[in-house]
């Protein structure tokens, strides 16, 4: 696969429409959008909660301080991720024996839903060094943000070193360039382009998980930060306070975008190494539209999740095909009813074994399990089922929104010019920051179930949208022209040309969107902030939360985690892998 | 004086289907002020041989020596020009030219003037601060050439240096390489050119070594004593070209019409 310029990774620069001088230049447009968000949000909120400028201003200093704390956590997690990505990626790319172990480990780590790390990390670190200390919760939240930031960055480093053209390495060899100079002149610059694009994405995702982590920990432990600030404000129905938090958060995100990420993205363009040897004579590249960086960044993480799904061969499923398909050639081994029955049996056995391990380990260290917890553990499959239904419902909604939206943006210059920057700015805003409002203000109108699905939607939508957008844009124009020449129009065009054409992008987008969905479950299904203010819906995320919050609940939490991971792996293996293979085999047009 | 001596060199790789022999029993010599060309069909090991001579890889059998010292590890007295230019897109023209000098540990004050000198020699003046992607193919290969010359190598190794260029650019760059080689004030003392383009080899070189198909061995060493500048349309040139073509086609046992062989086959690894 041609990395970096793969099917989803190279959105074309904004076409001729970008020249139009009547419109604001891109940075100003984005700035306007950034400012518009709090205003629009404020107007929308004013209906249900009263607010005033003076009222907001009162809370600004506290909000500023809390955002600053959050920013410090983000910065620490980012620096950790950067160092980890460079060290791990460099070692894996340059040491063959290490690579064989390190890359599969990374594949597994990134296919585990990030929320899976949450409770474990918190339980391990909260009491550190003593119960009630501020050190433990802070380390825990930094570690959590780190887990959401680092995997794609590691792959960025690893893949850019692996795909570095052989001649560039050889040229360094001919001059016997070694050690530090080789790293500084050749290897490190080679990683910069993808490292920067992955950083944009990690940082955006980092806000999402930072807020989630802070909300999650506030359930029982106060951790000063913007997530807990917003959560607290919403639980008190304090619109002014909430808006102050949102305003400061948007401001910080916007400033970082303009001061750090945009200039970095422009600078990183220099480090791309896909120049063709034949060299289109005098090809001076048009200045790239930096606002496309979020799309590209999304494409990078998508590739990460997709390889995580497709590269890992699950022992479980292989076991099923060996036991059921024994005696037949592997190519003939068709997935029959027996296969699924066999697989189902194995899944149940593996699940029971995991539960048994959890129960007995707990039994050894802490004693027998409380009856109420035990019954909840055995109810886990139902909780999982409820969560699957919820995620699938949210996914269906996402598709219904993302596909028309992507078609509209991709095919209309004006939508592309005006709509896309708005969408990109909205997408860079952590939706988790609005969760408290959804829970405390919207539940009465849309029911708890509706609120949960709405929250899931925000965690899934963008992956699908940006993938579909790239997919539609990557459709070769001649296919479209040919369809038009044959008079294909409307629904026929969509069915025969557009949908098959974007099928690979749809699959990769769906894989990533589901990944995002699993990650959002933990907040979407259970949130408590004081008496009578609890959102609690039967689901696996809820069980993890309950297990975490209740005394003696840890075995429930760990069992729920195992159940979730087992489910995610099985879904990847049974649904996404075959679909992805099919997308690659049949619907490629390059 | 002998610069490079290649004695009974063979190279084979272990592959999934057993051992694959790339070349065997290669012997020849590069003398001071030689311009030597190696031609042969794709995959005959020409480029591999160039890398063995530079010391990027070790031969399986035989020995390569430079000024009577066996080549072990990368030899800094030689510099390579690549088919795909192999320029670092994140370094400016000047920084790319300085690349080899930095590796040699030259002090900064000496690198500057040296880079200026070879930027001028190769006709890159005014492009010092440009990045490779802003340059045309011909200009990029000039940077590749300047980078190799800046370390003042005794031998310039050229691996299909003109194959990725359009014919007109290639022709003018060939002339310039010839002039550089003939200038006693400037490096290199000798040039070793690998090419699949027989006309190009005969136009430039004093001697042409003809490789067979894989496993590559030397079919003949053809001296070219035509006066320079050489006229590709002259009868003597044509006869020589014809002789090399028939050597390759007979040696390879797969007759191919000369016109087909003149087209650019895929790069030989």
Residue-level pLDDT at A78: 96
Nearest CA in chain A to B83: A277
- pLDDT band for A281, please (50, 70, 90 cuts): very low
Residue A174 touches partner B, C-beta closer than 8 Å: yes
- pLDDT band for B269, please (50, 70, 90 cuts): very low
Does the structure show a pLDDT above 50 at A15? no
Is A281 inside any structural domain? no
Does the structure show a pLDDT above 60 at A463? yes
Q: Are residues A263 and A397 in the same domain?
A: no
Q: Are residues A252 and A399 in the same domain?
A: no
Residue-level pLDDT at A548: 78
Q: Does the global pTM surpass 0.80?
A: no
The rounded percent of chain B whose pLDDT value lies above 70 is 93
| A373 neighbors A551 (Cβ within 8 angstroms) | no
| B129 neighbors B94 (Cβ within 8 angstroms) | yes
Residue-level pLDDT at A577: 80
DSSP code at position B268: P
Nearest CB to A174 within list B54, B102, B166: B54
- pLDDT band for B187, please (50, 70, 90 cuts): confident
Residue-level pLDDT at A390: 94
Give A75 or B269, the one with higher predicted confidence. Answer: A75
Partners of B83 on chain A (C-beta within 8 Å) are: 167, 277
Is A224 inside any structural domain? yes
Partners of A175 on chain B (C-beta within 8 Å) are: 74, 76, 79, 99-100, 103-104, 151
Contacts of B84 (CB under 8 A, 6+ apart): A165, A167, A277, B164, B267
Nearest CA in chain B to A192: B90
Is A448 inside any structural domain? yes
Contacts of A349 (CB under 8 A, 6+ apart): none
Nearest CB to B79 within list A174, A185, A271: A174
Partners of A185 on chain B (C-beta within 8 Å) are: 88, 91, 99, 102
Structural domains in chain B, sorted by start: 2-77+189-262 (3.40.50.300)
Handedness of CA B201, B203, B205, B206 (dihedral sign): positive
Cis peptide bond N-terminal to A202, omega within 30: no
Q: Are residues A359 and A230 in the same domain?
A: no
Q: Of the given ranges (A39-48, A92-101, B68-77, B231-240), which has the lowest mean pLDDT?
A: A39-48
Does the structure show a pLDDT above 90 at B241? yes
| A416 neighbors A433 (Cβ within 8 angstroms) | no
Which residue blocks in A273-336 are alpha helix, DSSP H? Answer: 293-311, 315-325
Give the C-alpha separation, B50 to B56, whole Å.
9
Residue-level pLDDT at B260: 40
Q: What is the mean pLDDT of residues A517-543?
A: 77
Is A8 inside any structural domain? no
Residue-level pLDDT at A275: 41
Does the structure show a pLDDT above 80 at B92? yes
Q: What is the pLDDT of residues A114-125, one digit of tens each?
A: 766 766 777 777
Indicate the residue among A249, A274, A299 that finishes a domain. A274
Contacts of A452 (CB under 8 A, 6+ apart): A390, A524, A525, A535, A537, A539
Q: Are residues A477 and A556 in the same domain?
A: yes
Q: Are residues A31 and A130 in the same domain?
A: yes
Q: Are residues A367 and A495 in the same domain?
A: yes
Give A42 or A180, the one with higher predicted confidence. Answer: A180
| DSSP secondary structure of A49-117 | S---HHHHHHHHHHHHHHHHHHHHHHHHHHHHHHHHHHHHHHHHHH-HHHHHHHHHHHHHHHHS-GGGH
Q: What is the mean pLDDT of residues B170-175?
A: 92
Give the C-alpha separation, A118 to A132, whole Å.
18
Asked if A282 lies within 8 A of B135 by C-beta distance, the reply is: yes
Asked if B91 lies within 8 A of A165 by C-beta distance, the reply is: no
Reported residue count of chain A is 590
- pLDDT band for A291, please (50, 70, 90 cuts): very low
Instruction: Provide the β-strand partners of residue B191.
Output: B35, B156
CATH number, domain containing residue A518: 1.10.3720.10
The C-alpha angle A417, A423, A428, rounded to 5 degrees, equals 130
Q: What is the mean pLDDT of residues B58-66?
A: 93
Residue A332 touches partner B, C-beta closer than 8 Å: no
Q: Are residues A444 and A547 in the same domain?
A: yes
Q: What is the mean pLDDT of residues A118-145?
A: 75
The rounded percent of chain A whose pLDDT value lies above 90 is 10
Q: Which of A401, A386, A514 is nearest to A465 (CA)?
A: A401
Give the domain extent around A368: 314-590
Q: What is the mean pLDDT of residues A238-267?
A: 85
Mean pLDDT of chain A: 76
Q: Of the given ranges (A21-25, A409-413, A503-507, B183-187), which has the lowest mean pLDDT?
A: A21-25
Give A55 or A289, the one with higher predicted confidence. Answer: A55
Partners of A181 on chain B (C-beta within 8 Å) are: 102-103
Tokens of A254: 């916007």
Is A301 inside any structural domain? no
Q: Are residues A198 and A130 in the same domain?
A: yes
Is A445 inside any structural domain? yes
Residue-level pLDDT at A528: 63
Does the structure show a pLDDT above 50 at A278? no
Q: Are residues A134 and A253 in the same domain?
A: yes
Q: Are residues A58 and A133 in the same domain?
A: yes
Furthest-apart CA pair in chain B: how many Å?
57
Nearest CB to A173 within list B74, B102, B133: B74
Is A503 inside any structural domain? yes
Give the C-alpha separation, A479 to A588, whole Å.
13
Nearest CB to B90 within list A173, A175, A271: A271
Give the C-alpha separation, A32 to B218, whole Å.
71
Pick the most confident of A249-253, A299-303, A335-339, B108-112: B108-112
Q: Are residues A318 and A194 in the same domain?
A: no
Q: What is the mean pLDDT of residues A203-230?
A: 78
Is A19 inside any structural domain? no
Overall domain count for chain A: 2
Instruction: Tell me the shortest Cα–Cα distance from B12 to chain A, in angstroms.
Output: 20
Partners of A273 on chain B (C-beta within 8 Å) are: 88-90
Residue-level pLDDT at A127: 64
Partners of A271 on chain B (C-beta within 8 Å) are: 89-90
- pLDDT band for B35, please (50, 70, 90 cuts): very high
Give the C-alpha separation, A85 to A202, whole Å.
12
């Amino acid at each position: 696969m041609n990395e970096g310029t793969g099917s989803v990774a190279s959105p074309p620069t904004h076409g001729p429409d970008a020249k139009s001088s009547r419109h604001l230049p891109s940075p100003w447009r984005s700035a306007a959008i950034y400012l518009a968000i709090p205003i629009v949000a404020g107007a929308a909120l004013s209906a249900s909660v009263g607010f005033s400028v003076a009222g907001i201003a009162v809370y600004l200093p506290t909000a500023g301080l809390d955002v600053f704390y959050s920013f410090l956590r983000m910065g620490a997690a980012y620096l950790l991720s950067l160092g980890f990505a460079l060290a791990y990626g460099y070692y894996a790319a340059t040491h063959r024996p290490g690579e064989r172990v390190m890359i599969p480990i990374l594949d597994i780590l990134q296919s585990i839903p990030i929320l899976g790390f949450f409770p474990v990390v918190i339980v391990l670190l909260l009491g550190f060094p003593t119960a009630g200390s501020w050190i433990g919760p802070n380390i825990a939240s930094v570690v959590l943000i780190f887990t959401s930031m680092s995997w794609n960055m590691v792959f960025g480093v690893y893949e850019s070193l692996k795909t570095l053209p052989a001649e560039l390495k050889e040229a360094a060899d001919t001059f016997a360039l070694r050690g530090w100079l080789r790293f500084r002149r050749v290897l490190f610059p080679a990683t910069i382009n993808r490292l920067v694009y992955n950083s944009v994405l990690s940082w955006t995702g980092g806000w999402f998980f930072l807020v989630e982590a802070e909300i999650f920990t506030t359930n029982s432990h106060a951790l000063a930060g913007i997530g807990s600030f917003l959560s607290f404000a919403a639980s008190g129905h304090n619109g002014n306070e909430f808006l102050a938090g949102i305003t400061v958060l948007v401001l910080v995100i916007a400033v970082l975008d303009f001061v750090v990420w945009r200039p970095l993205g422009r600078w990183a363009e220099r480090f791309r190494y896909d120049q063709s040897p034949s060299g289109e004579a005098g090809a001076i590249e048009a200045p790239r539209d930096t606002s496309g960086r979020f799309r590209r960044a999304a494409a990078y993480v998508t590739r990460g999740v997709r390889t995580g799904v497709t590269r890992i061969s699950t022992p479980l499923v292989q076991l099923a095909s060996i036991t059921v398909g024994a005696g037949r050639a592997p190519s003939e081994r068709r997935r029959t009813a027996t296969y699924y029955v066999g697989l189902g049996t194995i899944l149940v056995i593996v699940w029971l074994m995991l539960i048994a391990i959890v129960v007995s380990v707990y039994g050894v260290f802490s004693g027998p399990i409380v009856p109420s917890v035990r019954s909840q553990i055995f109810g886990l499959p139902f909780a999982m089922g409820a969560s699957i239904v919820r995620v699938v419902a949210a996914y269906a909604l996402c598709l219904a929104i993302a596909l028309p939206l992507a078609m509209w943006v991709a095919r209309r210059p004006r939508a592309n010019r005006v709509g896309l920057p708005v969408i990109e700015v909205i997408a860079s805003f952590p939706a988790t920051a609005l969760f408290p409002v959804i829970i405390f203000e919207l539940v009465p109108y849309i029911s708890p179930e509706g609120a949960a699905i709405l929250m899931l939607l925000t965690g899934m939508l963008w992956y699908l949208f940006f993938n579909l957008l790239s997919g539609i844009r990557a459709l070769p124009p001649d296919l479209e022209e040919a369809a038009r020449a044959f008079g294909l129009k409307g629904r026929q065009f969509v069915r025969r040309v557009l949908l098959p054409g974007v099928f690979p992008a749809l699959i990769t987008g769906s894989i990533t969107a589901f990944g995002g969905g699993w990650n959002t479950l933990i907040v979407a299904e259970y949130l408590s902030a004081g008496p009578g203010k609890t959102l609690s819906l039967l689901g696996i995320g809820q069980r993890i939360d309950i297990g975490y919050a209740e005394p003696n609940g840890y075995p429930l939490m760990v069992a729920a985690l195992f159940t979730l991971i087992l489910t995610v792996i099985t879904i990847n293996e049974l649904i996404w892998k075959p679909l992805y293979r099919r997308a690659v085999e049949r619907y490629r047009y390059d | 004086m002998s610069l490079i001596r290649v004695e009974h060199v063979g190279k084979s790789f272990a592959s999934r289907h057993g051992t694959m022999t790339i070349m065997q029993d290669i012997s020849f010599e590069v003398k001071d002020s030689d311009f030597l060309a190696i031609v042969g069909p794709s995959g005959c090991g020409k480029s591999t041989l160039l890398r063995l001579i530079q010391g990027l890889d070790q031969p399986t059998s035989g020995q390569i020596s430079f000024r009577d010292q066996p080549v072990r590890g990368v030899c800094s007295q030689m510099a390579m020009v690549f088919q795909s230019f192999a320029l670092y897109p994140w370094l400016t023209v000047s920084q790319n030219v300085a690349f080899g000098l930095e590796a040699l540990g030259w002090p900064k004050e000496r690198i500057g003037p040296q880079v200026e000198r070879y930027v001028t020699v190769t006709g890159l003046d005014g492009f010092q601060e440009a990045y490779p992607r802003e340059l045309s193919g011909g200009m990029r290969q000039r940077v590749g050439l300047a980078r190799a010359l800046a370390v003042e190598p005794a031998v310039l190794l050229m691996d299909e240096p003109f194959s990725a260029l359009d014919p007109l650019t290639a022709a003018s760059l060939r002339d310039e390489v010839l002039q550089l080689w003939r200038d006693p004030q400037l490096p290199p003392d000798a040039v070793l050119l690998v090419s699949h383009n027989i006309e190009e080899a005969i136009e430039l070189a004093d001697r042409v070594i003809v490789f067979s198909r894989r496993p590559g061995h030397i079919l003949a060493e053809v001296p070219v004593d035509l006066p320079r500048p050489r006229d590709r349309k002259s009868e003597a040139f044509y006869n020589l070209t014809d002789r090399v073509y028939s050597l390759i086609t007979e040696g390879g046992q797969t007759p191919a019409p000369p016109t087909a062989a003149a087209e650019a086959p895929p790069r030989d690894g």
